[in-house]
Amino acid sequence: MTEPKILLLDEPTKGMDSFFKETFATILNKLKSQGITILMVSHDVEFCAKYADRVSMFFDGQVLTTDTPQNFFGGNSFYTTAANRMSKHIFKNAVTAENVVELYRKNKGGTV
């Protein structure tokens, strides 16, 4: 119990403000770097898009699909991030706000 190999989390970001989500992500990354596998169930698509290594859709007792956050959210028109919904007609697979800013700078040469 003191040295888990797997950490199971159910909606861990529910009720967290954006500052603590960043802190929480740092904690999760530290655990991951120590070899701990983290399995998280969440409806927080923005958090998953930014920090997950793999994302799956679970429905009716089955895993329907698993992919990287870029491919999963970028190829999905309903269950996706706000950044993807707003930019999908301009940038392919921009699923986080950071992706949109980076692609804008590359394509327009501007600063945001």
DSSP class of 75: T
Q: Which uninterrupted H or E stretch holds 8? A: strand 6-10
Residue-wise pLDDT tens digits, 73-100: 988 777 899 899 889 888 887 999 999 9
Instruction: Please give the model's pTM, rounded to 2 decimal places.
Output: 0.81
Confidence of residue 108 (pLDDT cuts 50, 70, 90): confident
Confidence of residue 3 (pLDDT cuts 50, 70, 90): confident
Residue-wise pLDDT tens digits, 18-75: 999 999 999 999 999 999 999 999 999 999 999 999 999 989 999 999 999 999 998 8
What are the boundaries of each domain within the chain? Answer: 1-43, 55-112
In sequence order, the 6+-apart residues with CB closer than 8 A to the CB of 2 are none
Q: Which uninterrupted H or E stretch holds 63? A: strand 62-67
